[in-house]
């Protein structure tokens, strides 16, 4: 399928610079641009590629200032990255989607299923499950008893949703993620063994939540583990029992939250962040990669390091850390000088 520059500009409310009749039939990264493809430039680090790319059309921000000749047709938009994402949505829709119920699959007689759905082969839908309209359930999905899945949600292959969990509208659950597994609750006994504490709560995913591949969100011991609207979780993340993650928070891969952590709205967690149990993270908090959080964090903080510390303090620590070899040499030299002085004055 081909798209013309004028059509793309109309869809994005953009301004064309170059050939309005230029056409593309695929997409590419700007550094690997090929004729007939559309690319975008949003990060100034990639500015150099726009002068050498072979992409036919490039989306740029309206404030982009060219410093040389550009072969490609430009379409200026308010936000090139967001505009490119909108085009990818359009491209995905043009590819079409699956529909219908494949066999073999099992749907309990007490389950209710909405209109225009897709259920892939070898899927299991338990008792009293309620599935909304336009839901896509790919093969080998398990949906336990009493689960609710609301409209326009996509559940990819191999996802497991335990009983009583609630999944909102427009959610995306990627392959292999597990929603509602038991929280890690064990009581030590007198003989040194551990007695399992029954986990009788559930998980609630609000609308527009995306869960990455092989990520786990454990059910609450009692009550609910809650992932609020607009949260995006990367692959291989662990959210423990009774946690709560605020609206529009994003977490990168290998992050782990221990039990009963409360995270505020609009937070950003880098990769491999670890948060100890029963802590509160405020709103608009940024945690750099590999942060180790052992204390509560107030709103609007940027934290780095393990243990996590304010970015201003972390910067000072980094300066000292880089100077450690030099400081070590200074200490050794001082020890030698002190030993020489002691020998001069006859001290042992």
Q: Catalytic residue numbers?
A: 241
- Lookup: tokens for 59: 């989306």
Token match 């699956």: residue? Answer: 98
Tell me the three state secondary structure of residue 82: helix
* Neighbour count for residue 140 (Cβ, 10 Å): 18
The token pair at 188 is: 């030590």
- 């969990």: which residue's tokens? 165
Cα 283 to chain centroid distance, Å, stands at 17
**Residues 135 and 151 sit within 8 Å (Cβ to Cβ):** yes
Report the alpha-carbon distance of residue 37 to residue 3 in Å, rounded.
Answer: 10
Compute the half-sphere exposure of residue 300: CA atoms within 13 Å on the CB side of its CA.
Answer: 0
Spell out the residues 6+ positions from residue 335 whose beta carbon is closer than 8 angstroms to its own.
none
Q: How far is CA 139 from CA 42, 61, 99, 130, 132, in A?
A: 37, 41, 12, 18, 18
Alpha carbons 268 and 247: distance in angstroms, whole number: 11
């Amino acid at each position: 399928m081909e798209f013309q520059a004028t059509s793309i500009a109309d869809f994005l409310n953009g301004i064309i610079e170059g050939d309005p009749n230029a056409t593309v039939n695929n997409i590419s990264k700007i550094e690997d641009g090929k004729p007939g493809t559309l690319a975008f430039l949003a990060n100034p680090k990639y500015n150099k590629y726009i002068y050498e790319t072979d992409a036919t059309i490039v989306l740029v921000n309206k404030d982009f200032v060219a410093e040389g000749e550009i072969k490609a047709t430009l379409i200026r938009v308010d936000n090139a990255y967001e505009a490119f994402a909108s085009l990818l949505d359009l491209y995905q829709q043009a590819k079409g989607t699956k529909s219908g119920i494949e066999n073999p699959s099992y749907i309990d007689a007490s389950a209710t299923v909405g209109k225009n759905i897709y259920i892939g082969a070898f899927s299991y839908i338990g008792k009293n499950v309620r599935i909304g309209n336009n839901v896509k359930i790919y093969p080998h999905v398990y949906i336990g008893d009493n689960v609710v899945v609301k409209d326009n949600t996509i559940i990819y292959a191999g996802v497991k949703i335990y009983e009583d969990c609630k999944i909102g509208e427009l959610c995306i659950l990627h392959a292999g993620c597990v929603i509602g597994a038991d929280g890690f609750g064990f009581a030590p006994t007198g003989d040194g063994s551990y007695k399992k504490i029954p986990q009788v709560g559930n998980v609630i995913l609000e609308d527009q939540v995306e869960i990455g591949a092989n990520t786990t969100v454990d059910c609450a011991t009692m009550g609910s583990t809650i992932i609020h609207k607009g949260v995006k979780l990367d692959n291989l993340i662990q959210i423990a029992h009774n946690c709560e993650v605020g609206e529009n928070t994003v977490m990168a891969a290998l992050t782990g939250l221990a039990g009963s952590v409360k995270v505020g709205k609009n937070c950003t967690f880098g990769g491999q962040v670890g948060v100890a149990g029963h802590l509160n993270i405020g709103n608009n908090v940024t945690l750099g990669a590999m942060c180790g959080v052992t204390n509560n964090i107030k709103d609007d903080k940027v934290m780095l390091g393990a243990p996590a510390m304010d970015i201003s303090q972390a910067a000072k620590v980094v300066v000292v850390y880089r100077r450690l070899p030099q400081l070590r040499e200074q200490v050794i030299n001082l020890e030698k000088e002190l030993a020489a002085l002691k020998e001069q004055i006859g001290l042992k």
